[in-house]
Structure 1
Amino acid sequence: MGSEQQSMAAPSRPREQHLVDKLLAEADIHINGDRPWDMRLHKRSALDEIVARQSLGLGETYMRGEWDAPALDQFFYRLLRADLTRHIRPWRDGLRILRSYLLNRQSRRRAFEVGERHYDLGNDFYSAMLDSRLTYSCGYWKDAGNLEDAQTAKLDLICRKLGLEPGMRLLDIGCGWGSLVSYAAEHYGVECVGVTVSREQCAYIQEHFGHLPITVHLQDYRHLNQRFDRIASVGMFEHVGRKNHRTFMQVAKRCMKPDGLLLLHTIGKNQRHSSTDPWIEKYIFPNGELPSSGQIADAADKLLVCEDLHNFGSDYDKTLMAWHENFEKHWDRFAERYGQRFYRMWRYYLLSCAGAFRARHIQLWQWLLSDRRPGGVARVS
Structure 2
Amino acid sequence: MNSISQPYLSERNVPPPILVELFANCGIEINGPQPWDIQVHNPKTYDAILSKWSLGLGESYMDGYWDCAQLDEMICRLLSQDLNETVHGFARIRMVGEVIRAKLFNLQSKERAFQVGEQHYDIGNDIFERMLDPRMMYSCAYWEKANNLAQAQDDKLEMICRKLELKAGEKLLEIGCGWGGLAAYAAKNYGVEVLGITVSKEQQALAQERCRGLPVTIELIDYRDLQGTFDKIVSVGMFEHVGEKNYLAYFDAAKRLLKDNGLFLLHTIGSDVEVTRTDPWIDRYIFPNGKIPCSAELTKALDGRFLIEDWHNFGQDYDKTLLAWHANFVQTWPQVASEYSERFYRMWSYYLLSCAGFFRSRQGQLWQLVLSKRSRREVYRSKRLKPIN
Deviations 1:321-360 (A, max 9, x none): 0000000000011111111000000000000000110110
Match of 1:378 among 375, 378, 381: 381
Identity across matched positions, percent: 52
Question: Which residue matches 2:3?
Answer: none
* TM-fit CA distance, 1:95: 2.8
Change (3 A) 1:259 1:14: closer
Is residue 2:84 matched to residue 1:85?
Answer: yes
Would you say the 8 A contact 1:18–1:47 is kept in 2? no
* TM-fit CA distance, 1:290: 0.8
Which of 368-377 and 326-335 deviates more? Answer: 368-377
Supply the AA of the counterpart residue of 2:45: A
Question: Which residue matches 1:162?
Answer: 164
* TM-fit CA distance, 1:257: 0.6
Supply the AA of the counterpart residue of 2:264: L
1:117 and 1:14 map into 2 onto residues whose CA distance is 36
Question: Which residue matches 1:231?
Answer: 233
1:76 and 1:88 map into 2 onto residues whose CA distance is 15
Match of 1:116 among 115, 118, 121: 118
Deviations 1:271-326 (A, max 9, x none): 22431000000000011111111111111110111111000000000000000000
TM-score by length of 2: 0.93
Question: Which residue matches 1:40?
Answer: 39
2:378 and 2:169 map into 1 onto residues whose CA distance is 22
* TM-fit CA distance, 1:181: 0.6
* TM-fit CA distance, 1:45: 2.3
Supply the AA of the counterpart residue of 1:57: G
Deviations 1:45-66 (A, max 9, x none): 2112201100111010110011
Structure 1 stretches lacking a partner, 5+ long: 1-12
1:125 and 1:241 map into 2 onto residues whose CA distance is 27
* TM-fit CA distance, 1:235: 0.2
Question: Which residue matches 2:292?
Answer: 290
Match of 2:339 among 308, 328, 337: 337
Deviations 1:233-279 (A, max 9, x none): 00000000000011000000010011111100000112224310000
* TM-fit CA distance, 1:102: 1.5
Supply the AA of the counterpart residue of 1:48: D
Deviations 1:133-180 (A, max 9, x none): 000000000100000000000001100000001011100000000111
* TM-fit CA distance, 1:29: 0.3
Would you say the 8 A contact 2:102–2:276 is kept in 1? no
Q: Secondary structure at the match of 1:334?
A: helix
Q: Secondary structure at the match of 1:303?
A: coil
Q: Equivalences for 1:218-367 in 2 at 5 Å?
A: 218-367=220-369
Match of 1:201 among 192, 200, 203: 203
* TM-fit CA distance, 1:94: 2.7
Deviations 1:66-121 (A, max 9, x none): 11101111111111112222212223323322321211000111111111111111
TM-score by length of 1: 0.95
1:185 and 1:110 map into 2 onto residues whose CA distance is 31
1:116 and 1:331 map into 2 onto residues whose CA distance is 22
1:342 and 1:14 map into 2 onto residues whose CA distance is 27
Would you say the 8 A contact 2:196–2:216 is kept in 1? yes
Question: Which residue matches 2:48?
Answer: 49
Runs of 4+ in 1 over 4 A off after TM superposition: none
Would you say the 8 A contact 2:42–2:65 is kept in 1? yes
Question: Which residue matches 1:74?
Answer: 73
Q: Secondary structure at the match of 2:136?
A: coil
Deviations 1:7-28 (A, max 9, x none): xxxxxx9835432111000010
Larger Rg: 1
Question: Which residue matches 1:4?
Answer: none
Supply the AA of the counterpart residue of 1:380: K
Aligned residues: 369
Supply the AA of the counterpart residue of 1:376: V
2:299 and 2:173 map into 1 onto residues whose CA distance is 21
1:130 and 1:294 map into 2 onto residues whose CA distance is 32
2:211 and 2:39 map into 1 onto residues whose CA distance is 47
Would you say the 8 A contact 1:97–1:273 is kept in 2? no
The root-mean-square deviation of aligned C-alpha atoms, in Å, is: 1.2
Supply the AA of the counterpart residue of 1:37: W
Question: Which residue matches 1:181?
Answer: 183
Is residue 2:106 matched to residue 1:107?
Answer: no
